[in-house]
Amino acid sequence: MKNNIAFIHILLGLMHCLTPIAYTQNHPQPKKILILSSNTGGGHRASALALQAAFAQSLPPTCEIQIVDFWVDLAQGQFVHMPKQYAFLAKHPWLWKLSYEVTRTRAGHFALKSYLNAFAHHSIRRAFEKIQPELIVSVHPLVNDISQRVLRKMYQKRPQDKPHYVTVVTDLGSAHPAWFHPEVDKTYVPSGRVFQDALQAGVAPEKIIQLGLPIRKAFWSVGMEQKAAKEHLGLDPHKALVLLIGGGDGVGNLSNTAKAIAAQLAGTPQATQTQLAVICGNNLTLRHRLQQHAWPLATTIHGFTHNLDEWMSAADILATKAGPGTIAESLIRGLPLLLTSFLPGQEKYNVDYVLQHGLGVFADRPQNIAQITSQWLQQPQQLQKMSERAREIARPRAALDIAQHILQAL
Ligand code: UDP
Protein backbone atom coordinates (compact mmCIF):
# COMPACT_ATOMS: atom_id res chain seq x y z
CA MET A 1 0.00 0.00 0.00
CA LYS A 2 2.76 2.40 1.10
CA ASN A 3 4.61 1.57 -2.11
CA ASN A 4 1.53 2.38 -4.18
CA ILE A 5 1.12 5.76 -2.48
CA ALA A 6 4.82 6.54 -2.98
CA PHE A 7 4.45 5.56 -6.64
CA ILE A 8 1.42 7.87 -7.08
CA HIS A 9 3.37 10.74 -5.45
CA ILE A 10 6.33 10.20 -7.77
CA LEU A 11 3.95 10.06 -10.75
CA LEU A 12 2.21 13.29 -9.71
CA GLY A 13 5.57 14.99 -9.17
CA LEU A 14 6.76 13.88 -12.59
CA MET A 15 3.55 15.09 -14.24
CA HIS A 16 4.02 18.47 -12.57
CA CYS A 17 7.64 18.75 -13.76
CA LEU A 18 6.76 17.58 -17.25
CA THR A 19 3.83 19.95 -17.80
CA PRO A 20 5.93 22.46 -19.81
CA ILE A 21 7.42 19.60 -21.87
CA ALA A 22 3.97 18.07 -22.44
CA TYR A 23 2.72 21.51 -23.51
CA THR A 24 5.57 21.94 -25.98
CA GLN A 25 5.15 18.43 -27.40
CA ASN A 26 1.50 19.04 -28.21
CA HIS A 27 1.93 22.53 -29.62
CA PRO A 28 4.39 24.03 -32.07
CA GLN A 29 6.89 25.77 -29.80
CA PRO A 30 8.34 29.18 -30.62
CA LYS A 31 12.14 29.26 -30.47
CA LYS A 32 12.37 33.04 -30.40
CA ILE A 33 9.97 35.41 -28.67
CA LEU A 34 10.56 39.12 -29.04
CA ILE A 35 8.95 41.44 -26.47
CA LEU A 36 8.69 45.03 -27.69
CA SER A 37 8.86 47.46 -24.79
CA SER A 38 10.45 50.80 -23.94
CA ASN A 39 11.72 52.44 -20.76
CA THR A 40 9.25 55.27 -21.14
CA GLY A 41 8.17 55.19 -17.49
CA GLY A 42 8.54 51.96 -15.52
CA GLY A 43 5.25 50.20 -16.35
CA HIS A 44 6.01 48.84 -19.84
CA ARG A 45 9.26 47.22 -18.73
CA ALA A 46 7.63 45.79 -15.58
CA SER A 47 4.95 44.11 -17.76
CA ALA A 48 7.59 42.92 -20.24
CA LEU A 49 9.53 41.28 -17.40
CA ALA A 50 6.32 39.68 -16.13
CA LEU A 51 5.56 38.13 -19.52
CA GLN A 52 9.16 37.01 -20.02
CA ALA A 53 9.02 35.14 -16.69
CA ALA A 54 5.59 33.68 -17.52
CA PHE A 55 6.76 32.37 -20.93
CA ALA A 56 9.91 30.96 -19.34
CA GLN A 57 7.72 28.97 -16.96
CA SER A 58 5.87 27.24 -19.84
CA LEU A 59 8.65 26.76 -22.38
CA PRO A 60 11.93 24.85 -22.41
CA PRO A 61 15.10 26.84 -21.63
CA THR A 62 16.16 26.59 -25.29
CA CYS A 63 13.46 29.13 -26.17
CA GLU A 64 14.97 32.62 -26.37
CA ILE A 65 12.74 35.31 -24.87
CA GLN A 66 14.22 38.71 -25.59
CA ILE A 67 12.99 42.08 -24.28
CA VAL A 68 14.04 45.09 -26.34
CA ASP A 69 13.60 48.81 -25.96
CA PHE A 70 11.95 49.32 -29.36
CA TRP A 71 13.19 52.89 -29.70
CA VAL A 72 16.68 52.65 -28.22
CA ASP A 73 17.67 49.15 -29.40
CA LEU A 74 15.78 48.78 -32.69
CA ALA A 75 14.72 52.15 -34.13
CA GLN A 76 17.86 53.97 -32.92
CA GLY A 77 18.81 57.33 -34.53
CA GLN A 78 16.79 60.22 -33.10
CA PHE A 79 14.50 57.72 -31.34
CA VAL A 80 17.11 56.82 -28.68
CA HIS A 81 15.97 59.94 -26.80
CA MET A 82 12.39 58.66 -26.47
CA PRO A 83 12.70 57.51 -22.78
CA LYS A 84 14.25 60.87 -21.80
CA GLN A 85 11.59 62.76 -23.75
CA TYR A 86 8.88 60.78 -21.93
CA ALA A 87 10.45 61.60 -18.54
CA PHE A 88 10.52 65.28 -19.53
CA LEU A 89 6.86 65.25 -20.59
CA ALA A 90 5.88 63.37 -17.43
CA LYS A 91 7.45 66.18 -15.38
CA HIS A 92 5.44 68.77 -17.35
CA PRO A 93 1.90 67.30 -17.37
CA TRP A 94 0.36 70.09 -19.49
CA LEU A 95 2.83 69.28 -22.28
CA TRP A 96 2.02 65.58 -21.94
CA LYS A 97 -1.70 66.39 -22.09
CA LEU A 98 -1.16 68.42 -25.25
CA SER A 99 0.75 65.62 -27.03
CA TYR A 100 -1.70 62.98 -25.78
CA GLU A 101 -4.81 64.85 -26.91
CA VAL A 102 -3.35 65.94 -30.27
CA THR A 103 -2.21 62.40 -31.17
CA ARG A 104 -5.64 61.04 -30.16
CA THR A 105 -7.38 62.96 -32.91
CA ARG A 106 -7.64 61.28 -36.33
CA ALA A 107 -5.28 63.79 -37.98
CA GLY A 108 -2.81 63.79 -35.07
CA HIS A 109 -2.72 59.99 -34.92
CA PHE A 110 -2.18 59.80 -38.67
CA ALA A 111 0.68 62.33 -38.45
CA LEU A 112 2.31 60.41 -35.58
CA LYS A 113 2.11 57.07 -37.44
CA SER A 114 3.45 58.62 -40.65
CA TYR A 115 6.38 60.24 -38.81
CA LEU A 116 7.38 57.02 -37.05
CA ASN A 117 7.08 55.03 -40.26
CA ALA A 118 9.06 57.56 -42.32
CA PHE A 119 12.03 57.64 -39.96
CA ALA A 120 12.11 54.22 -38.30
CA HIS A 121 10.78 51.80 -40.94
CA HIS A 122 14.18 50.71 -42.30
CA SER A 123 15.89 50.22 -38.94
CA ILE A 124 12.92 48.22 -37.62
CA ARG A 125 12.89 46.05 -40.74
CA ARG A 126 16.65 45.41 -40.39
CA ALA A 127 16.14 44.46 -36.74
CA PHE A 128 13.23 42.09 -37.45
CA GLU A 129 15.20 40.46 -40.28
CA LYS A 130 18.17 39.95 -37.98
CA ILE A 131 16.24 38.65 -34.96
CA GLN A 132 13.74 36.52 -36.95
CA PRO A 133 11.21 36.14 -34.10
CA GLU A 134 8.39 33.62 -34.38
CA LEU A 135 6.27 35.40 -31.83
CA ILE A 136 6.20 39.17 -31.21
CA VAL A 137 4.58 40.57 -28.08
CA SER A 138 4.10 44.31 -27.86
CA VAL A 139 3.64 46.04 -24.48
CA HIS A 140 3.94 49.57 -25.88
CA PRO A 141 1.34 51.66 -27.75
CA LEU A 142 3.60 53.42 -30.25
CA VAL A 143 5.22 50.32 -31.73
CA ASN A 144 2.16 48.55 -33.18
CA ASP A 145 1.34 50.44 -36.35
CA ILE A 146 4.94 50.67 -37.55
CA SER A 147 5.61 46.99 -36.72
CA GLN A 148 2.54 45.92 -38.69
CA ARG A 149 3.63 48.04 -41.69
CA VAL A 150 7.13 46.53 -41.58
CA LEU A 151 5.85 42.94 -41.23
CA ARG A 152 3.28 43.42 -44.00
CA LYS A 153 6.05 44.47 -46.39
CA MET A 154 8.53 41.83 -45.24
CA TYR A 155 6.04 38.99 -45.69
CA GLN A 156 4.18 40.33 -48.74
CA LYS A 157 5.09 37.26 -50.78
CA ARG A 158 4.75 34.63 -48.03
CA PRO A 159 2.10 35.90 -45.57
CA GLN A 160 1.84 32.42 -44.02
CA ASP A 161 5.35 32.94 -42.50
CA LYS A 162 4.48 36.26 -40.83
CA PRO A 163 5.26 35.97 -37.08
CA HIS A 164 2.34 35.77 -34.68
CA TYR A 165 1.92 39.29 -33.22
CA VAL A 166 -0.01 40.15 -30.07
CA THR A 167 -0.45 43.37 -28.13
CA VAL A 168 -0.73 43.36 -24.35
CA VAL A 169 -2.19 46.70 -23.25
CA THR A 170 -0.53 47.95 -20.05
CA ASP A 171 -2.91 50.85 -19.39
CA LEU A 172 -5.74 50.21 -16.97
CA GLY A 173 -8.56 52.77 -17.03
CA SER A 174 -8.43 53.68 -20.73
CA ALA A 175 -6.02 53.39 -23.65
CA HIS A 176 -4.67 55.64 -26.42
CA PRO A 177 -5.83 54.57 -29.95
CA ALA A 178 -2.19 53.83 -30.90
CA TRP A 179 -2.41 50.66 -28.78
CA PHE A 180 -4.83 49.10 -31.25
CA HIS A 181 -4.34 47.70 -34.72
CA PRO A 182 -6.92 45.51 -36.48
CA GLU A 183 -4.25 43.28 -38.11
CA VAL A 184 -2.71 42.24 -34.80
CA ASP A 185 -3.54 38.57 -34.04
CA LYS A 186 -4.79 39.19 -30.49
CA THR A 187 -5.12 42.20 -28.19
CA TYR A 188 -5.02 41.48 -24.44
CA VAL A 189 -6.74 44.10 -22.27
CA PRO A 190 -6.81 44.55 -18.48
CA SER A 191 -10.30 46.03 -17.98
CA GLY A 192 -13.79 46.39 -19.46
CA ARG A 193 -13.18 50.03 -20.29
CA VAL A 194 -10.04 49.20 -22.33
CA PHE A 195 -12.03 46.39 -24.03
CA GLN A 196 -14.47 49.08 -25.21
CA ASP A 197 -11.58 51.31 -26.37
CA ALA A 198 -10.25 48.40 -28.46
CA LEU A 199 -13.68 47.81 -30.02
CA GLN A 200 -14.03 51.49 -30.80
CA ALA A 201 -10.61 51.48 -32.48
CA GLY A 202 -11.84 48.79 -34.88
CA VAL A 203 -10.43 45.60 -33.34
CA ALA A 204 -12.73 42.60 -33.94
CA PRO A 205 -14.35 41.44 -30.66
CA GLU A 206 -13.06 37.85 -31.04
CA LYS A 207 -9.51 39.23 -31.08
CA ILE A 208 -9.85 41.04 -27.74
CA ILE A 209 -9.11 39.01 -24.61
CA GLN A 210 -9.54 40.39 -21.09
CA LEU A 211 -7.19 38.69 -18.61
CA GLY A 212 -5.74 41.50 -16.44
CA LEU A 213 -2.53 43.50 -16.42
CA PRO A 214 0.69 41.42 -16.37
CA ILE A 215 2.53 41.89 -13.10
CA ARG A 216 6.11 40.84 -12.27
CA LYS A 217 6.90 37.41 -10.83
CA ALA A 218 7.68 38.76 -7.35
CA PHE A 219 3.97 39.56 -7.02
CA TRP A 220 2.66 36.15 -8.14
CA SER A 221 2.94 34.63 -4.69
CA VAL A 222 1.71 35.84 -1.30
CA GLY A 223 4.20 38.38 -0.02
CA MET A 224 6.10 38.46 3.26
CA GLU A 225 4.11 38.99 6.45
CA GLN A 226 3.92 42.76 7.13
CA LYS A 227 6.07 42.96 10.29
CA ALA A 228 8.66 40.61 8.83
CA ALA A 229 8.81 42.75 5.66
CA LYS A 230 9.36 45.90 7.74
CA GLU A 231 12.20 44.23 9.65
CA HIS A 232 13.69 42.86 6.46
CA LEU A 233 13.78 46.41 5.02
CA GLY A 234 15.41 47.83 8.14
CA LEU A 235 12.22 49.60 9.25
CA ASP A 236 10.59 49.70 12.67
CA PRO A 237 8.16 46.73 12.70
CA HIS A 238 5.93 48.47 15.27
CA LYS A 239 5.34 51.66 13.29
CA ALA A 240 2.82 52.07 10.45
CA LEU A 241 4.48 52.68 7.07
CA VAL A 242 3.29 55.32 4.61
CA LEU A 243 4.86 54.57 1.23
CA LEU A 244 5.12 57.35 -1.37
CA ILE A 245 5.92 56.55 -5.03
CA GLY A 246 5.88 58.52 -8.31
CA GLY A 247 6.19 55.78 -10.95
CA GLY A 248 9.49 54.66 -12.48
CA ASP A 249 10.61 58.27 -13.04
CA GLY A 250 9.70 59.67 -9.62
CA VAL A 251 7.19 62.21 -10.93
CA GLY A 252 4.15 63.96 -9.41
CA ASN A 253 4.55 66.48 -6.63
CA LEU A 254 6.58 64.01 -4.50
CA SER A 255 8.75 66.53 -2.69
CA ASN A 256 5.96 68.78 -1.38
CA THR A 257 3.71 65.81 -0.67
CA ALA A 258 6.35 64.02 1.42
CA LYS A 259 7.14 67.19 3.35
CA ALA A 260 3.43 67.90 4.01
CA ILE A 261 2.81 64.35 5.30
CA ALA A 262 5.85 64.49 7.59
CA ALA A 263 4.89 67.95 8.90
CA GLN A 264 1.25 66.92 9.50
CA LEU A 265 2.16 63.84 11.51
CA ALA A 266 5.08 65.37 13.44
CA GLY A 267 4.11 66.80 16.78
CA THR A 268 1.01 64.56 17.02
CA PRO A 269 0.84 61.25 18.91
CA GLN A 270 0.98 59.60 15.44
CA ALA A 271 4.58 60.80 15.02
CA THR A 272 5.94 58.09 17.27
CA GLN A 273 3.85 55.40 15.58
CA THR A 274 4.43 56.21 11.91
CA GLN A 275 7.30 56.14 9.43
CA LEU A 276 7.49 57.42 5.87
CA ALA A 277 9.40 55.98 2.90
CA VAL A 278 9.74 57.89 -0.38
CA ILE A 279 10.73 56.00 -3.54
CA CYS A 280 12.10 58.47 -6.08
CA GLY A 281 12.58 55.94 -8.92
CA ASN A 282 15.03 57.19 -11.55
CA ASN A 283 14.70 60.83 -10.41
CA LEU A 284 18.20 61.29 -8.95
CA THR A 285 17.85 65.06 -8.44
CA LEU A 286 14.76 64.58 -6.30
CA ARG A 287 16.42 61.79 -4.34
CA HIS A 288 19.47 63.95 -3.47
CA ARG A 289 17.27 66.90 -2.58
CA LEU A 290 15.05 64.87 -0.26
CA GLN A 291 18.06 63.21 1.35
CA GLN A 292 19.33 66.67 2.40
CA HIS A 293 16.01 67.58 4.05
CA ALA A 294 15.72 67.59 7.87
CA TRP A 295 12.70 65.32 8.37
CA PRO A 296 10.54 65.84 11.46
CA LEU A 297 9.31 62.21 11.15
CA ALA A 298 11.16 58.89 10.75
CA THR A 299 11.70 59.03 6.97
CA THR A 300 13.83 57.13 4.47
CA ILE A 301 14.51 58.18 0.87
CA HIS A 302 15.28 55.69 -1.91
CA GLY A 303 16.15 55.67 -5.59
CA PHE A 304 14.91 53.06 -8.05
CA THR A 305 14.20 49.93 -6.01
CA HIS A 306 14.02 46.44 -7.45
CA ASN A 307 12.06 45.03 -4.51
CA LEU A 308 8.89 47.12 -4.57
CA ASP A 309 6.97 43.92 -3.83
CA GLU A 310 8.65 43.87 -0.39
CA TRP A 311 8.00 47.57 0.18
CA MET A 312 4.35 47.01 -0.69
CA SER A 313 4.17 44.04 1.71
CA ALA A 314 5.53 46.30 4.46
CA ALA A 315 3.32 49.33 3.74
CA ASP A 316 0.05 50.28 5.45
CA ILE A 317 -0.90 53.03 2.99
CA LEU A 318 0.34 53.71 -0.53
CA ALA A 319 0.34 57.29 -1.79
CA THR A 320 1.16 57.27 -5.50
CA LYS A 321 0.79 58.75 -8.95
CA ALA A 322 -2.01 56.88 -10.76
CA GLY A 323 0.34 54.65 -12.77
CA PRO A 324 -1.38 51.44 -13.94
CA GLY A 325 1.50 49.14 -12.95
CA THR A 326 1.79 50.52 -9.43
CA ILE A 327 -2.00 50.39 -8.96
CA ALA A 328 -2.28 46.76 -10.13
CA GLU A 329 0.66 45.73 -7.90
CA SER A 330 -0.80 47.49 -4.88
CA LEU A 331 -4.12 45.63 -5.35
CA ILE A 332 -2.28 42.31 -5.09
CA ARG A 333 -0.71 43.44 -1.81
CA GLY A 334 -4.11 44.73 -0.57
CA LEU A 335 -2.93 48.31 -0.10
CA PRO A 336 -5.35 51.23 0.43
CA LEU A 337 -4.59 53.76 -2.31
CA LEU A 338 -4.20 57.48 -1.96
CA LEU A 339 -3.78 58.74 -5.52
CA THR A 340 -1.87 62.00 -5.49
CA SER A 341 -1.47 62.82 -9.19
CA PHE A 342 -2.06 61.46 -12.66
CA LEU A 343 -0.68 62.06 -16.10
CA PRO A 344 -3.51 63.77 -18.01
CA GLY A 345 -4.70 61.41 -20.71
CA GLN A 346 -4.66 57.70 -20.02
CA GLU A 347 -3.97 57.95 -16.25
CA LYS A 348 -7.02 60.12 -15.58
CA TYR A 349 -9.22 57.05 -16.04
CA ASN A 350 -7.08 55.05 -13.60
CA VAL A 351 -8.32 57.48 -10.96
CA ASP A 352 -11.94 56.71 -11.95
CA TYR A 353 -11.13 52.98 -11.80
CA VAL A 354 -9.82 53.27 -8.22
CA LEU A 355 -12.73 55.45 -7.06
CA GLN A 356 -15.42 53.32 -8.75
CA HIS A 357 -14.11 50.14 -7.15
CA GLY A 358 -13.81 51.69 -3.66
CA LEU A 359 -10.04 51.09 -3.56
CA GLY A 360 -9.01 54.51 -2.32
CA VAL A 361 -9.32 58.26 -2.86
CA PHE A 362 -7.79 61.00 -4.98
CA ALA A 363 -6.32 64.22 -3.58
CA ASP A 364 -3.67 66.30 -5.30
CA ARG A 365 -3.00 69.12 -2.83
CA PRO A 366 -0.17 68.16 -0.45
CA GLN A 367 -2.08 69.56 2.54
CA ASN A 368 -5.16 67.42 1.74
CA ILE A 369 -3.03 64.35 1.12
CA ALA A 370 -1.37 64.84 4.51
CA GLN A 371 -4.75 65.24 6.26
CA ILE A 372 -6.19 62.12 4.63
CA THR A 373 -3.08 60.14 5.57
CA SER A 374 -3.44 61.25 9.17
CA GLN A 375 -7.19 60.38 9.22
CA TRP A 376 -6.63 56.98 7.64
CA LEU A 377 -3.99 56.07 10.20
CA GLN A 378 -6.67 56.57 12.86
CA GLN A 379 -9.27 54.47 11.01
CA PRO A 380 -7.95 50.90 10.75
CA GLN A 381 -11.44 49.52 9.86
CA GLN A 382 -11.69 51.76 6.82
CA LEU A 383 -8.19 50.71 5.74
CA GLN A 384 -9.18 47.07 6.22
CA LYS A 385 -12.26 47.49 3.97
CA MET A 386 -10.23 49.03 1.13
CA SER A 387 -7.60 46.35 1.56
CA GLU A 388 -10.21 43.59 1.20
CA ARG A 389 -11.71 45.23 -1.90
CA ALA A 390 -8.24 45.48 -3.42
CA ARG A 391 -7.46 41.80 -2.90
CA GLU A 392 -10.86 40.85 -4.37
CA ILE A 393 -10.17 42.45 -7.74
CA ALA A 394 -6.40 41.85 -7.91
CA ARG A 395 -5.16 39.60 -10.76
CA PRO A 396 -1.79 38.25 -9.59
CA ARG A 397 -1.84 35.49 -12.24
CA ALA A 398 -2.51 37.79 -15.20
CA ALA A 399 0.94 37.34 -16.76
CA LEU A 400 0.70 33.53 -16.54
CA ASP A 401 -2.83 33.49 -17.95
CA ILE A 402 -1.86 35.75 -20.86
CA ALA A 403 1.29 33.73 -21.68
CA GLN A 404 -0.71 30.46 -21.64
CA HIS A 405 -3.41 31.93 -23.85
CA ILE A 406 -0.88 33.26 -26.36
CA LEU A 407 0.97 29.94 -26.57
CA GLN A 408 -2.22 27.94 -26.99
CA ALA A 409 -3.32 30.19 -29.85
CA LEU A 410 -0.08 29.67 -31.80
N1 UDP B 1 9.01 50.70 -10.07
C2 UDP B 1 10.04 49.95 -9.54
N3 UDP B 1 10.94 50.59 -8.73
C4 UDP B 1 10.87 51.91 -8.46
C5 UDP B 1 9.80 52.67 -9.01
C6 UDP B 1 8.87 52.03 -9.80
O7 UDP B 1 10.15 48.74 -9.75
O8 UDP B 1 11.73 52.40 -7.76
C9 UDP B 1 8.03 50.00 -10.91
C10 UDP B 1 6.66 49.84 -10.27
O11 UDP B 1 6.65 48.73 -9.42
C12 UDP B 1 5.78 49.68 -11.49
C13 UDP B 1 6.48 50.54 -12.52
O14 UDP B 1 7.81 50.76 -12.07
O15 UDP B 1 5.77 48.35 -11.92
C16 UDP B 1 5.82 51.89 -12.69
O17 UDP B 1 4.76 51.70 -13.58
P18 UDP B 1 3.47 52.63 -13.60
O19 UDP B 1 2.61 52.08 -14.68
O20 UDP B 1 2.88 52.71 -12.25
O21 UDP B 1 4.02 54.09 -13.94
P22 UDP B 1 5.02 54.63 -15.08
O23 UDP B 1 6.38 54.72 -14.45
O24 UDP B 1 4.98 53.64 -16.22
O25 UDP B 1 4.48 55.96 -15.44
Domain range summary for the chain, segments of one domain joined by +: 29-213+397-409, 219-393
The rounded Å distance from CA 247 to ligand 1 centre is 4
Tell me whether the CATH fold assigned to 29-213+397-409 matches the one assigned to 219-393.
Answer: yes
The rounded Å distance from CA 270 to ligand 1 centre is 29
The rounded Å distance from CA 43 to ligand 1 centre is 5
Residue-level pLDDT at 293: 97
Ligand 1 pocket list (CB less than 6 A): 41-43, 46, 245, 247-249, 279, 281, 304-305, 308, 323-326, 329
What is the value of pTM for the model shown? 0.89
Q: Name the residue of 52, 233, 305, 326 to mutate for ligand 1: max ligand atoms within 8 A of Cβ.
A: 326
Distance between CA atoms of 33 and 165, rounded to whole angstroms? 10
Residue-level pLDDT at 1: 44
Q: Whose C-alpha lies nearest to ligand 1, atom 14?
A: 42
Residue-level pLDDT at 41: 87
The rounded Å distance from CA 367 to ligand 1 centre is 25
Residue 104 exposed, middle or buried by CB count within 10 Å (0-12, 13-18, 19+): middle
Q: Whose C-alpha lies nearest to ligand 1, atom 20?
A: 323
Residues in the chain: 410
Atom of ligand 1 nearest to the CA of 245: 5
The rounded Å distance from CA 42 to ligand 1 centre is 4
Distance between CA atoms of 73 and 79, rounded to whole angstroms? 9
Task: Find, among 60, 7, 65, the residue nearest to 33 by Cα.
Answer: 65
The rounded Å distance from CA 9 to ligand 1 centre is 42
Q: Name the residue of 168, 287, 306, 308 to mutate for ligand 1: max ligand atoms within 8 A of Cβ.
A: 308
Q: Name the residue of 91, 245, 320, 351 to mutate for ligand 1: max ligand atoms within 8 A of Cβ.
A: 245
Distance between CA atoms of 363 and 368, rounded to whole angstroms? 6
| Correct CATH for 219-393 of 3.30.2350.10, 3.60.15.10, 3.20.20.70, 3.40.50.2000 | 3.40.50.2000
| Correct CATH for 29-213+397-409 of 3.40.50.2000, 2.60.34.10, 3.40.50.720, 2.40.110.10 | 3.40.50.2000
The rounded Å distance from CA 29 to ligand 1 centre is 32
Residue-level pLDDT at 28: 67
The rounded Å distance from CA 40 to ligand 1 centre is 10
pLDDT tens for the chain, 410 residues long, are: 444 444 444 444 444 434 444 444 555 688 999 999 999 988 999 999 999 999 999 999 999 999 999 999 999 999 999 999 999 998 898 999 999 999 999 999 999 999 999 999 999 999 999 999 999 999 999 999 999 999 999 999 999 999 999 999 999 999 999 999 999 999 999 999 999 999 999 999 999 999 999 999 999 999 899 999 999 999 999 999 999 999 999 999 999 999 999 999 998 888 999 999 999 999 999 999 999 999 999 999 999 999 999 999 999 999 999 999 999 999 999 999 999 999 998 899 999 999 999 999 999 999 999 999 999 999 999 999 999 999 999 999 999 999 999 999 88
Atom of ligand 1 nearest to the CA of 324: 19
